[in-house]
Amino acid sequence: MNHKPSLWLTICLLAVSSPSSALEEVGAEILSTCLSERQALMGDPTAAVRYGLCLGYLKGIADALNGKKFCISETGETAIITQRLKQVYIGYALEHKDALRKPAIQTVVPALENAFPCSR
């Protein structure tokens, strides 16, 4: 297993530690990318890129903050875990539409904290 920091991990760490900027995704944008799965599977190349952004963003945050902000103990194939992250985020985002104007990290982290609390 490669333990070098990935580009997504670096981006996520910067997103967590830096103030919001004009280039930062908001929760609604990540939700939209996550909802592009159907079009991606139907062969739409733009939707495929957007859907990949959803999965990469969620996986990057999960990798960066697991054990610190939430505790994902699921094991198995990365693709299955990433699909679970997507399901968790979509459910949370649809229930908290008022939060979708916030930076995406501020919607993803609470979604994962709610779904994967750490027992302390």
pLDDT digits (tens, 9 = 90+) for 42-61: 999 999 999 999 999 999 99
| CATH number of 111's domain | 1.10.890
Q: Does 11 reside within a domain?
A: no
Q: Does 65 reside within a domain?
A: yes
Q: Does 70 reside within a domain?
A: yes
Q: Does 19 reside within a domain?
A: no
Number of domains in the chain: 1
pLDDT digits (tens, 9 = 90+) for 62-98: 999 999 999 998 888 989 999 999 999 999 999 999 9
Q: Is the pTM of this model over 0.85?
A: no
Reduce the secondary structure of the chain to three states and give it as a string: CCCCCCHHHHHHHHHHHCCCCCCCCEHHHHHHHHCCHHHHHCCCHHHHHHHHHHHHHHHHHHHHHECCCECCCCCCCHHHHHHHHHHHHHHHHHHCHHHHHCECHHHHHHHHHHHCCCCC
Range of the domain at 95: 25-115
What percent of the chain is predicted at pLDDT more than 70? 80
32-38 average pLDDT score: 95
